[in-house]
Amino acid sequence: MRKITNLLLLLFVCCFVNAGELRAQDNSSEKKKDEKSKRADKSKNGEKATSIGGKEHEAEILGVKIGMNVPTALEAVFVNAKRKPGQEKPDAQRKEGKDGKDIRVLYKKLPQGDLQIIFAEGRVVKEVLLTYAKPPNIADLRLAYTGDIEIALDGDRYDDRYSVGFTDNQKVQRTWWRDEKTNEGYRLRLQFFSPNKIKDAGAKFVVTAVQKLLFITPGDEAKFAQAHSLSNK
């Protein structure tokens, strides 16, 4: 009789513990969903969502942001790249785009890497691209290797604001991107790229992000042009 009583007591304790674990798992899952929903709401409303992957997830590169005018953008690069007197101007520039109105400027061998900025109609920033001198690890950026954002790495969460895909059908280069609404009403896209498995030596395994890109979210070009009084609307 005593053995039966002890067995029943043991079963009761196990069921109680398992129920507690299930409740904890449910609460954890609901918390993740709530956090993801809050970040999505902030992005839609043009607010800055806190990233778990550090400052590289901010919508700027060397202080340069979409919509900045030329003097402000060049000053940001000069200060944040710690350029010396006499290096206020870019290393090179060229005209491009429709009617050659856009201006692309290039900075080579900055401490952070090679930088390119495109000024729409030579007036405001519409695209910024940094090729990293020291590519950050995707684990440190909290970027998921696949689209399964619930998979944890060393017990840490991934940044679930990002979509994950490839730049082409051959799947030689992985990319991560997210959209963020601005106060001016248009959206901008922040995107990271892995090494190209064909062109980049040692890129068989994706462990780093070699480029960071900021540009206007496709479909919002007219809103961007209108917000900044550009002629190409």
pLDDT tens per residue across span 63-93: 999 999 999 999 999 999 999 999 999 999 9
Do 4 and 64 share a structural domain? Answer: no
| pLDDT of res. 157 | 75
Domain boundaries, position 36: 1-45
Give pLDDT tens digits for 13-31: 444 434 444 444 444 445 4
**Domain contains 146:** yes
Do 65 and 24 share a structural domain? Answer: no
Do 210 and 112 share a structural domain? Answer: yes
**Domain contains 11:** yes
Mean pLDDT of 106-117: 97
What backbone phi and psi angles, to 5 degrees, belong to 100?
65, 25
Beta-carbon count within 10 A of 124 CB: 21
Cα distance between residue 93 and residue 167, in whole Å:
27
Do 192 and 153 share a structural domain? Answer: yes
Number of domains within the chain: 2
Give pLDDT tens digits for 192-221: 999 987 776 555 566 899 999 999 999 999
- The model's pTM: 0.77
**Domain contains 221:** yes
Do 59 and 23 share a structural domain? Answer: no
Do 12 and 88 share a structural domain? Answer: no
Do 151 and 57 share a structural domain? Answer: yes
Do 55 and 36 share a structural domain? Answer: no
Do 208 and 146 share a structural domain? Answer: yes
